Structure 1
Amino acid sequence: MKPTSACNLVTILGPTASGKTCLAVKLAQELSGEIISADSRQVFRRMDIGTGKDLHEYGAIPYHLIDVLEPGQECSLFTFQRLFLQAFEGITARGQLPILCGGTGLYLDAALRGYRMVEVPENLQLRAKLADKSDAELIEILMKLVPDQHNRTDLTDRSRTIRAIEIASYQPDDQAEQEPFPAISPLVLGIRWERTELRRRITQRLRQRLEAGMLDEIQQLHAGGVGWERLDYYGLEYRYGGMFLRGELNRNDLFQKLNAAIHDFAKRQETWFRRMERNGVVIHWLDGAEDPVTESLQIVNSNIVSLA
């Protein structure tokens, strides 16, 4: 069944632990949809607990951009957009409704803003100029180029800072800029929770992940050849879990520090969503404590005239 109105992509966003996957699955069941993940870490195989894949929730619903790369690889923004467009076009061709679901702001922007990215090549001349710069000087250069840093790992790893400067400094040629972008008309739904309740949900989910074997997962990834520095890059759970496994944190400090860091991350996500709105993205906000499924179906059905 193919959407016949202006809306041809439903997007579900929200901070971590807000219930995005559950809502996406229920909408996919009701609307003959397939889910495209907009999560920068769920693309990696065998990184299940720490990334919160919750694959059991999907049931028979097809999903995309999950388990597509090996741990240790890097998924650039260009790579994500290319994979997203492939999935979007494939789902649409099958007459299904694409449902984009996730909380990674850069990935959401790459899908919703309507510009096709180009793969940024290495700039050896620029890298030579940056080689003698201190870490602090590199961060200062990057912050001038991109003042609003959503991906904080670009500020904590020298090689990533240099690559981020390279990308921010890149000037594509006219042919790349003129490459057409598919006609995507998104309907964006956001899940909101009262601050205290969201904090409770985050803390509860962290406990569940630890009980489910998150630390064993991290240890197995490292034993399989993924270095500690690379695990740090894959996010808070892997960074703090690695510190615990190396003996740098005790169990109590692991929980307290990781829990606080995830709360801070959720605040940064919400800041990013507000910026999206300032940039013209219309987000229909749903109250997570009420009935977001019914409310979202009403919004979707009012924007999709009919399904053929």
Structure 2
Amino acid sequence: MMPMITILGPTASGKTDIAAHLAARIDAEIISADSRQVYRRMDIGTGKDLDDYCVDGKNIPYHLIDIVEPGTKYNLFEYQRDFLEAYNGVRERGKEVVLCGGTGLYIESVLKGYRLIPVEENKELRKSLEGKNLLELTEILERLKSENCSNMHNITDVDTAKRAIRAIEIETAYRKAPVEERTFPKIDTLIIGVGIDREMRRRKISKRLRQRLDNGMVEEVEGLLEEGIPAEDLIYYGLEYKFLTEYITGKLTYEEMVHSLEIAIHQFAKRQMTWFRGMERRGFHINWIDAAQDMDTKVNTIMDLIASRKADGI
């Protein structure tokens, strides 16, 4: 069997569509690496675009999408566990594996095989952090990361005080208790990065945001609130759910929400690329392809890279 193909890229780069077309070509199943698409009924805001998983009438199996309820706090430990279960299942069925997503932390955690332990809530620590603003919490987190030599949390993952406190909680636990070796396989992979011109990315992000607003994104968040999911839990998920919740609860006008959200998504895409460039500095080789090329060219380029690895005996 061929190595797992990892396809990563910033939001609006078209990586899911590429992964699905490649999967159709090589008889593969897709494992998602997106920290928010795990949540059910959070569809428009997370950009699931499930239609992308149908190629020429063929439905491509996918995993780790719609697996937990909104309001829960899915974490990196759970993702690593669930990835391994999905990965082993696909391989046991004799299929190839395509890992696809934009959450660099999730991708790196399974490619590097981070050694993780479950971390329980630390009520005493949380009480000591009450009242601190996001800047203060970020400074505490950065200090802990430096002490732990950790790459586990970046600004993308801690854009609210609640998320920052949880990250501090995890880093504190890792500092105080030695992390025991966990059984996690070394996974051979070919990494494909979908590069997109900055201006093209900005245009696509802006266009897609307006399409999602027109297609019911506000109503989606209203429905989640009506289910009884607390506003603070939706704000915890950041980006669309943060700003739309603040609009619906009267903290922002519609115009303020759209403007702030658009800026936040652009910043998010930039941070994604910063993470991927950091992966390269940390020793991962990413083969970049141009998002602007037509689909056949992109898939054929990946197939050529697969063939080249095979010819080199890698």
**TM-score where L is the length of structure 1:** 0.89
Kindly indicate whether the alpha-carbon contact (under 8 Å) linking 1:139 and 1:155 is maintained by their aligned counterparts in 2: no
Is 1:215 the counterpart of 2:212? The answer is: no
Structure 1 spans left out of the alignment, 5+ residues: none
Match of 1:27 in 2: 22
CA contact (8 A) 2:160 2:238 kept: no
Secondary structure of 2:46 counterpart:
coil
- 2:105 is the counterpart of 1:106: yes
Q: 2:180 aligns with which of 149, 152, 177?
A: 177
Amino acid at match of 1:25: A
Q: Which of 290, 303, 309 in structure 2 is aligned with 1:303?
A: 309
The secondary structure found in structure 2 opposite 1:191 is strand
- SS of 1:297 mapped into structure 2: helix
CA RMSD of aligned residues (A): 2.2
Change (3 A) 1:165 1:63: same
Match for residue 158 of structure 2?
Answer: 154
Task: Map 1:1-308 onto structure 2 (within 5 A).
Answer: 2-3=1-2, 7=3, 9-59=4-54, 60-123=59-122, 126-127=125-126, 130-131=128-129, 134-135=132-133, 137-146=136-145, 149-152=153-156, 154=158, 156-157=160-161, 159-171=162-174, 177-290=180-293, 291-304=297-310
Distance (Å, rounded) in 1 between the aligned partners of 2:206 and 2:96 = 33
Identical columns (%): 47
Q: Which amino acid aligns with 1:11?
A: T
What is the rounded CA distance, in whole Å, between the counterparts of 1:106 and 1:200 in structure 2? Answer: 26
Q: Is the 8 A contact 1:145 1:165 kept in 2?
A: yes
1:132 to partner: Cα distance: 6.5
Q: Distance in 1 between matches of 2:125 and 2:195?
A: 42
- C-alpha separation between the residues in 2 aligned to 1:34 and 1:89? 12
**How far apart, CA to CA, are the structure 2 residues paired with 1:219 and 1:124?**
31
Contact 2:29 2:62 in 1 (8 A): yes
The one-letter amino acid paired with 1:274 is R
Q: Which runs of 5+ in 2 are unaligned?
A: none
1:40 Cα deviation from its structure 2 partner: 0.5
- 1:63-97 CA distance string (max 9 Å, x none): 00000000111111000000001111111111111
* Local SS of the residue matching 1:177: coil
Question: What is the total number of aligned residue pairs between the two structures?
Answer: 298
Displacement after TM superposition at 1:224 (Å): 0.5
**Aligned-partner Cα distance in 2 for 1:263–1:40:** 18
User: d(CA) in 1 for partners of 2:96 and 2:197?
Assistant: 30
SS in structure 1 opposite 2:287? strand
Looking at structure 2, the residues matched to 258 and 155 of structure 1 have their Cα atoms a distance apart, in angstroms, of 13
Aligned equivalents of 2:304 and 2:275: distance in 1? 26
Cα offset, 1:137, TM superposition: 4.5
Q: Which has the higher contact order (CA 8 A, sep 6+)?
A: 1
